[in-house]
Amino acid sequence: MTIKNNLLKYILGVYAGIMLLSIIFLTLGFIDWFLWRSITLPYSLTTIYFISGIAAINYGINKPTQLFLISVFGGMVARMLLILFLVFVSIKFFDINLWIYIFVLFVTYFFYLITEVVYLNLLKTKQLK
């Protein structure tokens, strides 16, 4: 398998591991439901954001330059509007700790953003197939 195929499996594996660990902590009583929601909700949102970004990159990678730019930047605008809407909805309708929510959202967002840039750089240098 190539690194390109393994990236999604790696990210989903880490996501599943962290979610499983958080469920175990919740079950054992180390964290309460309020804290669990404040951590897992933004983590899930940014993971969906990242996977959709990789999908947009993979869709446009072998296309002409203009179509590639449309898929990547158009996908970026659509993802930003979607995450903005979902953040407002989750803040408005869920009982969460706002500071923890925002902290987890920014940490995971920038982690995934750096991962996307590294992924694009690897694609540019033809290290991924």
Q: What averages of pLDDT result for each successive group of 10 residues across the chain (129 residues)?
A: 67 84 88 88 90 85 84 87 91 90 91 86 68
Give the Cα separation of 85 and 87 in Å (integer): 6
- Report if residue 32 sits inside a domain: yes
- Report if residue 113 sits inside a domain: yes
Cβ–Cβ < 8 Å for 71, 56: yes
Residues contacting residue 52 through CB under 8 Å, at least 6 positions apart: 75, 79
Predicted TM-score (pTM) of the model is: 0.81
- Structural domain containing residue 31: 3-124
| Cα 93 to Cα 34, 40, 45, 89, 96, distances in angstroms | 13, 15, 15, 6, 9
- Report if residue 129 sits inside a domain: no
Q: How many domains does the chain have?
A: 1
Q: What region does 32 belong to: left with phi over 0, alpha with psi -120 to 50, or beta? A: beta
